[in-house]
Amino acid sequence: MKTLKQNKKSESNVFLKELSTCSLETNTHLLKLLPSHDREKLFEAINYVIFSGGKRFRAFLTLQSAKLFDIPKERALQTASAIELIHAYSLVHDDLPSMDDDNMRRGKPTVHVKWDEATAILVGDCLQAFAYEILCRDITHPDTAIRIKLVKNLTVAAGFNGMVLGQIKDLEAEKALNKLGLEEILELQKLKTGALFKWSVESSCILAEANSTALCTYAEAIGLAFQIRDDLLDLEGSINDTGKRVGKDHKAGKATLVSLLGIDEAKKRTQQLCEEACDALNSFGGKANLLKAAARFTIERGF
């Protein structure tokens, strides 16, 4: 009989294999979608950003939640590609000197370092516009009302009531005289990271015209856990594993749960959030096992 440790190891191997499959499928789909003006600087930089690695974790969430509703693969790949484009744009801008000022991303120089700031701003703008354009294509869903709902919900998740609002709160908190409290940090992280996680699964519910409550509860919990883990990796991780500079956000005085509660308490929080996320999926039975494994990966990952 297998021990608990062996079970956990084999669950994690199955998850990592599936994550890598989702990543390959998403990259292949993105390659098909991209126009081929490869001699232009802008397109060279866009290709650099899109195909320079990244876990494709949000694409994984989209593709796995789509499986719960038997959504045709091509439709799910459209939404998985859109969320990865928005995520990639958010990272290019997040790394700019006027934001987190990072020189390394996914193990490579950031766009403003390899090219210049103007290119990084425009690459981000372009990736964002492209995400919405691909969602509007007929292959995403034949019903225009469903395509509009996908676009509308993504604008809310990415915009001034979502990721961008979270990002500005994050930057303001760095300079604030009064440190943020627990509720304020939770709100900030729910916006800057959780909002895109939520759309990653909500998009499948929109495509399936299904109720999204359980999946959104799951995504909000792992979104938060994912950011706490990211902040822990900034302290405990390595540049080789994460592909980005470590220790920087902590030094900059970012408002994080780790800085407020300390490493041990933050880790306890991630455990609770993982349990909350898994419980939310119980009504799907065994079909949601990979999403549950994704929740455990979120809090244990080293990259």
- Exactly one of 90, 110, 153, 203 binds ligand IPE (CB under 6 A); that residue is 90
Query: Rounded to an integer, what distance in angstroms lies between the CA atom of residue 236 and that of residue 54?
Result: 19
Query: Rounded to an integer, what distance in angstroms lies between the CA atom of residue 268 and that of residue 130?
Result: 39
54 binds ligand IPE (CB under 6 A): yes
Q: Which region, judged by CB under 6 A, interacts with ligand IPE, from 83-91, 172-180, 209-217, 292-300?
A: 83-91
220 binds ligand IPE (CB under 6 A): no
Q: Which region, judged by CB under 6 A, interacts with ligand IPE, from 8-16, 17-25, 51-59, 264-272?
A: 51-59
- Exactly one of 106, 108, 250, 267 binds ligand IPE (CB under 6 A); that residue is 106
Query: Rounded to an integer, what distance in angstroms lies between the CA atom of residue 286 and that of residue 82?
Result: 28
- Exactly one of 60, 199, 230, 277 binds ligand IPE (CB under 6 A); that residue is 230
Nearer CB in complex with ligand IPE: 23/140: 23
Nearer CB in complex with ligand IPE: 55/67: 55
249 binds ligand IPE (CB under 6 A): yes
Q: What's the closest the beta carbon of residue 94 comes to Mg ion, in angstroms?
A: 4
Query: Rounded to an integer, what distance in angstroms lies between the CA atom of residue 207 and that of residue 301?
Result: 30
Q: Which region, judged by CB under 6 A, interacts with ligand IPE, from 35-43, 50-58, 110-118, 266-274?
A: 50-58
Nearer CB in complex with Mg ion: 94/220: 94
Chain positions 61 to 80 lying near ligand IPE, rule: CB under 6 A, are none
Q: What's the closest the beta carbon of residue 163 comes to ligand IPE, in angstroms?
A: 5
Q: What's the closest the beta carbon of residue 279 comes to ligand IPE, in angstroms?
A: 23
Beta strands 108-109 and 104-105, pairing class: antiparallel
Judged by the rule CB under 5 A, the positions of this chain that interact with Mg ion are 94, 100, 230
Contact positions toward ligand IPE, by CB under 6 A? Answer: 54-55, 57, 87, 90-91, 94, 100, 102, 106, 163, 167, 192-193, 227, 230, 244, 249
